Chain A
Amino acid sequence: DTGVSQDPRHKITKRGQNVTFRCDPISEHNRLYWYRQTLGQGPEFLTYFQNEAQLEKSRLLSDRFSAERPKGSFSTLEIQRTEQGDSAMYLCASSPRQGAGDGYTFGSGTRLTVV
C-alpha cells in the first residue's frame, strides 16, 4: 500500500457545475477525513468517517457538499452548484483508529479551481 490516494489531482470547473473527488485511504485504516485548504491558510476540517459511518461534519460543510464512504473503503466528496469560493485544495487523510493523530496520513490533495 502506497499511502492515501486522491483523484483527480487538479480539477477546473465552471461555476454552477457539480464536481466529485475520490479518496482511497490506506487499506487497513478505518478512519477517513476530509479537509479544505484555501490559499494562504492551514487545512480546515470538513468531515470524518469511521468505517462507513459519517460521525462528524463541520459547519463549513454546507448543503451543497456531501461526502460518502459506502463500503468503508474509498470515499467521495461531491460539491454541487460550485461557487468561486469553493476554489481550494481538498485534502483527504486516513488513520487506523481514534487516537492522538497516530498514523494519520494525508493524501496529496485535489486542487479545485472554479472559474
Chain B
Amino acid sequence: AQSVTQLGSHVSVSEGALVLLRCNYSSSVPPYLFWYVQYPNQGLQLLLKYTSAATLVKGINGFEAEFKKSETSFHLTKPSAHMSDAAEYFCAVSDRNQFYFGTGTSLTVIP
C-alpha cells in the first residue's frame, strides 16, 4: 500500500527564512514521489518529482527535496522564503496508475 504523511498542517516562516516542509512515505515498492503546490481555488502545480534518479531533486521556484530511503522521507526545502510561496503544499506518491496525496501543509510567509 502507498501512503504519505505530512507533518505539520500549518507552517509559518519569515520572509527570507528557510522553508522546510516534511513528508514521510510508505511504499511496498520503490516509490515515485512528488511535491505539488496549490494556490487558492486553483489546481495542482508540480514542483518536483523523484523517480529513482538523483536523490536530491531540484524543482521550480527554488524548491528542492531530498529522497532518504533510510528515513522514508522526502522533505521539501527552500533556502529563502518569498511572499509568493504562501500556498498549500502536497506531497504525493504514485503507483503509476494514481496518486496518493498527503493532507497538505499550508505555508504562511510573514513579511
A positions within 8 Å CB-CB of B: 4, 33, 35, 40-45, 48, 55-56, 91, 93, 98-102, 104, 106-109, 111
Instruction: Please determine whether A100 and B49 come into contact, CB atoms closer than 8 angstroms.
Output: yes
Distance of A92 from chain B, by nearest CB (Å): 9
Count of A-B contacts with CB under 8 A? 62
Binds A, one of B12-20, B58-66, B101-109: B101-109
Task: Knowing A40-B104, A42-B90, say if A101 contacts B99 (CB, 8 Å).
Answer: yes
Instruction: Please determine whether A43 and B99 come into contact, CB atoms closer than 8 angstroms.
Output: yes
Q: Hey, which chain A residues are within 8 Å of B103, CB to CB?
A: 40-42
23 A-B pairs with CB atoms under 8 Å apart are: A4-B43, A33-B98, A35-B99, A40-B9, A40-B103, A42-B102, A42-B104, A43-B44, A45-B99, A48-B97, A48-B98, A91-B43, A93-B44, A100-B51, A100-B94, A101-B49, A101-B94, A102-B51, A104-B99, A106-B45, A109-B42, A109-B43, A111-B41
Interchain residue pairs A-B with the least CB separation, the first 10: A42-B101, A100-B32, A106-B43, A101-B94, A45-B98, A106-B44, A108-B43, A100-B51, A42-B90, A43-B101
